[in-house]
A and B are shown apart, each in its own frame.
Chain A
């Protein structure tokens, strides 16, 4: 390793190795470019190391534990005795999942001949970045730079995260011991999954939503299942809670994120950001400096890894001279609650407001054979379509694997599928995905397994 102030020329310099950054780096390498990626932490960023993956691991572990409750298993003839859990072992397992994935990303990075530099970088001018890392200081002169430095949890005003009493979601996932009670503030999927996770493990949870709903932008009819599920877990739910009235401790605050761009010296490169530090970009993910791109949370878009991943690809391709843009019609949204909920596209109300004449369809999980064999009949499928031409506009699914089923609806909307398209194709039977077809057929007034409205 070189020590001292040496300038290395690279085609593409990627700042941040999260899902936006490493995907951008790999795609750029696939396009034959010479790529260096810089991150002070391990490969995978927040999502893989401290966010989504650890959260999903723990939520799934807690779900497995919850499913061993005797009163649920007894009707199936299963006798389970003295099931218990060990939080620290659960944490260790979570960590093993994280490390396996992070190792996989590292291999992908090196397998694509991308140089990984551990350290923090900042702009010296519009062509150069200095990286201060474990092997000293390094200068990179780049042709294109892709900023993917992500975002951090935004604290509430006057309520900084202290790691013990007021916790960010990341900090909550690293708790050494489970508290007896927990207050969770937020109305996003993170708050809901946190509440579900800890309540399943016996923590008395109070969920405080700042909004009217516990999850913003979701069909209220679908949300009722989630709310009932939380109640069943003993979660106390309060809505329209003002942040000032949060006295319970420990408290987890999920209040959105703030772009991590403060240390980048964006002004040295002439890159514009808004007041919150989010870098302003166009749909090709170019900042005002056209050779500098920003993808994922650091550009202030929806803080979802799915968005960052797609934007990473777009930025890498655009920087290689391709004409591409980030323009999905819909972004699927999932919360691993009990039951699970997933939504994509418009709700009926949103579609109406957007000027559509709307037709809706509904199919309860209780009428789906596969759901009954899973012992999970609690849920529903709701679809929204245009009444004029039957074009699919949105759907909300509640029930087991709802998050895995929503992908087909997203595909349908992106392809411009109609209710008739959904009703024409053949779904495996008995299968959970049939709820999508039957809700579409219900909208057409001809679902078989429920009495259709007319």
Chain B
């Protein structure tokens, strides 16, 4: 008999919810076979089987929360040879995690130097096709194959890239993650004739949705929210991005407005440290943070996630852009580490990227402020008595009124606005 207990998955994790069992009692499992999906604070982690053997019993049902060290599953017998034999490999080490082609795979350990793609799920494609796909940032698994056998050709990849480009150029304002749009889905079925007295569908909150609900509730109940609004002239910002975009592209980064806004936010946070702080309920004290970990509100298939750009003040624009791309994609795939979804000190919410023009954000507790930036839009504004068209961006800053007053919030917003309207100011503090 062999018990498998919930391991420490990192950063102070105390419990995890079992989302889905991939095995059932009676199954024979192989070493490293994916066994169970668990959800910690904000990341979903797949735990592989540590041994080969037969599953005797599953102790924690799906949807239940297991404590650190609690027995999850019991194996009948462990095939000791599978655990002890160091696995030989002709360079074909199996590491599914490294198969994400839109980014270079994460730094590897020395023992597994080759990011192998020859897994069971391998997409058949010649080396030149794989090379082109990587170059275009396309995951071969997403490309519909024209050949029997699922073999992907160069033409398939190029056609897919072309479709993705067109999809991106279409009017949908939704600024999605780095990856190309999914292939067109079949048209939705015709709505059925209205059924009499339909029962409403009830869905219990689970997983991320439940956590979002709890978090929002806590923030809204605890923090006296107030929101300050303003609007800035984004012309310079647009021009700056336009100027840098091609070069950034050459260096492999997709420069959106977010990295620029993060960069422009940092000086404002440094000048108004109370915005980069949290409020300690018990001690009734303001805790000024020395790190600038910028939370980025990110859409994921299962709901809002605040991904965290750690030490944003120490990153170059390109690094921020690359890191953001990684975070957005990780949120989509729910593959982020705990480090990447916790510990933010101030949160930036790009409402515009979700399609809205503006909104009032709820503070990411225990932080004390959150800034929502809206969509850049041409608007008629009055300048020197004349109506002119300018590219405007709405701002909404929610703050914890216990520690921040309206006047300070106004000054903070004004400073941020000044920075965005004159982004050259960044040069002043450059090293």
A interface list, Cβ under 8 A from B: 216-218, 272, 274, 276, 278, 280-284, 286, 288, 290, 299-302, 307, 321-333, 343-347, 350, 353-356, 389, 391, 393-394, 413-416
Residue of B nearest to A272 (CB): B107
Given B92, B104, B113, B319, which contacts A284 in the complex, CB threshold below 8 Å? B104
Which residue from chain B places its CB closest to the CB of A327 in the assembled complex? B115
Q: A415 touching B252 by the CB < 8 A rule?
A: no
CB distance from B81 to the nearest CB of A (A): 11
- Would A282 and B104 be within 8 Å (CB), given that A330-B90, A331-B90 are in contact? yes
Closest residue of A by beta carbon distance from B100:
A283
Residues of B with C-beta under 8 A to A355: 30, 119-120
Cα–Cα distance between A328 and B93 once the two chains are bound (Å): 11
Residues of A with C-beta under 8 A to B120: 354-356
Contact status of A345 and B90, CB under 8 A, knowing A280-B107, A283-B105, A353-B30: yes
User: A321 CA to B252 CA in the complex, in Å?
Assistant: 7
Across the interface, do B110 and A416 meet the contact criterion of CB distance under 8 Å?
A: no
Are B131 and A324 interface neighbours, CB within 8 A? yes
Q: If A346-B90, A393-B118 touch, does A281 touch B134 (CB 8 Å cutoff)?
A: no
Pick 24 A–B contacts, CB within 8 A, sort by A.
A272-B107, A280-B109, A282-B105, A282-B108, A283-B104, A288-B107, A321-B250, A323-B136, A324-B131, A325-B101, A326-B115, A327-B115, A327-B130, A329-B117, A332-B90, A333-B90, A345-B92, A346-B92, A347-B90, A389-B149, A391-B124, A394-B90, A413-B118, A414-B127
A286: which B residues are within 8 A, CB to CB? 104
**Distance in Å from the Cβ of B282 to the closest Cβ of chain A?**
38
Q: Given the complex of chains A and B, what is the CA–CA distance between A323 and B125 in angstroms?
A: 18
Q: Assuming the A-B contacts A302-B113, A324-B134, A350-B92, are A281 and B125 also in contact, with contact meaning beta carbons closer than 8 angstroms in the complex?
A: no
Q: A327–B252 Cα gap in the complex (Å)?
A: 18
Closest A-B pairs by Cβ, 6 of them: A217-B88, A331-B91, A300-B110, A301-B113, A416-B124, A282-B104
Inter-chain contact B319/A290, CB cutoff 8 Å:
yes
**Are A274 and B110 in contact, with the CB atoms below 8 A?**
yes
Q: Which residues of B contact A (CB under 8 A)?
A: 30-31, 87-92, 94, 98, 101, 104-111, 113-120, 122, 124-127, 130-131, 134-137, 149, 151, 250-252, 319, 322
Report the separation of the CA atoms of residues A445 and B127 in the bound assembly, to the nearest whole angstrom: 29
* Chain B min CB distance to A237 (Å): 19
Q: Is B114 a contact of A302 with CB atoms below 8 Å?
A: yes
Q: Are B108 and A281 in contact (CB under 8 A)?
A: yes
CA distance A393 to B117 in the complex (A): 12
Q: Shortest CB–CB separation between residue A154 and chain B, in angstroms?
A: 12
> Shortest CB–CB separation between residue A388 and chain B, in angstroms?
10
Pick from B89, B113, B119: contact of A299, CB below 8 A: B113
Report the Cα distance A226→B79, complex, angstroms.
30
A325's partner among B90, B134, B136 (CB-CB below 8 A) is: B134
Residue pair B88, A323 in contact (C-beta under 8 Å): no
Q: Which residues of chain B are near A333, meaning CB under 8 Å?
A: 90-91
Given known contacts A322-B135, A356-B120, A416-B151, is B110 in contact with A278 (CB within 8 Å)? yes
For B250, what are the chain A residues with a Cβ–Cβ distance below 8 Å?
321
Contacts of B252 in A (CB 8 A): 321, 323
**B residues less than 8 Å from A414 (CB atoms):** 126-127
Chain B residues whose CB sits within 8 angstroms of the CB of A282 once the complex forms = 104-108
Docked-complex contact B31 and A353, CB < 8 angstroms = yes
With a cutoff of 8 Å between Cβ atoms, the chain A residues found around residue B134 in the complex are: 323-325, 327
User: Which of B98, B114, B322 gathers the greatest number of chain A CB atoms within 10 Å?
Assistant: B114
A329 with B116, Cβ < 8 A, contacts A301-B110, A323-B134, A416-B125 known: yes
